Structure 1
């Protein structure tokens, strides 16, 4: 007992386990029955433990079987040790080398990014038992989900930065104005600002001077489009639908619209120069306790961003 380090080195957990049973029994015989051991074995274990501790632990005179003061202290500590071992077993029971768990990502609907898609593919290949949930929503709502720790990360536009969150630019995109086949400007070359004056428009919910798409709002104003927006949506697919249907001229990321332009479903209209650039960010909450899958996904995404120059993450 005068050398704690030696006690830690020499003390046998099995002796402590036997003592816990002894402390709750009324005799060595009863403890032996509980442990399914012979009485001499239990007596010998108690003697070895008392020798290691250097103090008597049980007052076992004829007609008396009671813990000594040292025995009371040891029993209390031994029960704590037993509980810790049980908790350790429970904690380790489900731990494997495989990464499992759900990764919830909140993202804006106009996220079209080959780098992000590559991270998704690589993560699934490396961790096939992990699950992904991609929830599409307006950028402010996506950031709200991360702030409330309901999503591991967000991929969205950012207007005002919350100092409690972390931000990393994922890519840069440029917005242009487009019309659909029913529109009188569709297919016409050499269009100028005068051709756009007063035209009806459709756009995103966040296309406002006080929101994340302020640069797009200014582009529409400079193009001379009518002030009234005849259709709005928070989803890119629905804004595209209204443009293709001919409801009005609307903004889309140029690299996202390129395939529809090639397919004859969209036509770009002025302005063609000085298009507004917007940065799409990865946003996460450093205070959130991420599971292994979330941590692995976020780390993989940030590593890929760091390894890719911004020029390769700029889509025109």
Structure 2
């Protein structure tokens, strides 16, 4: 490094601050205190000799120097990961397991085929699935190293730390409570849900993610009606069955979560859900960055 005392932890802190736009949220992502993250950013600024971040009313943004450090730092993090991975491979003669975070309701219809294809293409590779329930759970697993890649529904927010590889898309369906006036219909359009509260997670979710899943605003410019919050699919189903509103979900959810009291109807004019394989840009596990088999389109 030519005498430059640079810790990878400092680069990871800058990467988190850039992605979150906030010292507080970056600290939560890194499992550190806000003071620790601020201290690491100041330390990195002393190493570089220039301000890397600036505080604005909308949040923390990178300076021109910060953008350079972020880009070059990502390459350093990737190289460090590659060094560790190659050293382990040299020592053991086997690649690291490929750890994939997933939600069962999103992947049950194609995961067996993916595993079979991997066994055929790379029999020496161990696939280690990691079950999760929410988007924050999967993002955390990727960032803290518990998972190499994840199957996630897009969008995930504007996060430069990840490589995104879209795989398939599904139509959206609406779960209605028993006795709802719309349950006799065979299909729905967004306008039909004008006064129907929408159930789902909001706290801790990027605004773009909330807007997409709740279809807010609607095509005519009106706002969605927000129902009770629910963190997991099971909580969404419970609240819908209790009559608190509707839940908008991918088509695969309909078959995975059969519920005798609910009516599921296709939402014809909604933008489809896109499922993607996502991994951190600085994850150099060869198993996660090599070409992966694509699930068949349902």
TM class by shorter-chain length? 0.5 to 0.7
Q: 1:118 aligns with which of 103, 113, 123?
A: 113
* 2:151 match: 155
SS in 2 for 1:304: coil
Q: Within 2, Cα distance between the matches of 1:116 and 1:191?
A: 30
Q: 1:143 aligns with which of 112, 115, 139?
A: 139
SS in 1 for 2:147: coil
Change over 3 Å in CA distance of 1:259–1:187 after alignment to 2: farther
| Structure 2 residue 158 is matched with structure 1 residue 169 | no
Deviations 1:25-60 (A, max 9, x none): xxxxxxxxxxxxxxxxxxxxxxxxxxxxxxxxxxxx
Q: Within 2, Cα distance between the matches of 1:193 and 1:92?
A: 56
CA apart distance, 1:153: 0.6
Q: Within 2, Cα distance between the matches of 1:123 and 1:247?
A: 43
Q: Within 2, Cα distance between the matches of 1:208 and 1:167?
A: 18
* 2:227 match: 229
Q: TM-score, with normalisation over the residues of structure 2? A: 0.52
Deviations 1:212-249 (A, max 9, x none): 2422322685698972412422x223323332443321
Q: Within 1, Cα distance between the matches of 2:254 and 2:187?
A: 20
Alignment RMSD (CA, Å): 4.2
CA contact (8 A) 1:165 1:285 kept: yes
CA contact (8 A) 2:96 2:287 kept: no
CA contact (8 A) 1:147 1:165 kept: no
| Structure 2 residue 80 is matched with structure 1 residue 105 | no
* 1:266 match: 262
Deviations 1:191-210 (A, max 9, x none): 78787553343223479781
Q: TM-score, with normalisation over the residues of structure 1? A: 0.50
Instruction: Identify unmatched segments of 5+ residues in structure 1.
Output: 1-89
Structure having the higher Rg = 1
| Structure 2 residue 240 is matched with structure 1 residue 240 | no
Deviations 1:114-173 (A, max 9, x none): 344311244467659936231314324423432443321121133345444322112112
| Structure 2 residue 293 is matched with structure 1 residue 304 | yes
CA contact (8 A) 2:170 2:250 kept: yes
Change over 3 Å in CA distance of 1:132–1:181 after alignment to 2: same
CA contact (8 A) 1:109 1:138 kept: no
RCO greater where, 1 or 2, for CA within 8 Å and sep 6 or more?
2
CA contact (8 A) 1:206 1:212 kept: no
Q: Structure 1 residues 115-124 or 222-231, which shifts more?
A: 222-231
CA contact (8 A) 2:190 2:218 kept: no
SS in 2 for 1:238: helix
Q: Within 2, Cα distance between the matches of 1:210 and 1:260?
A: 27
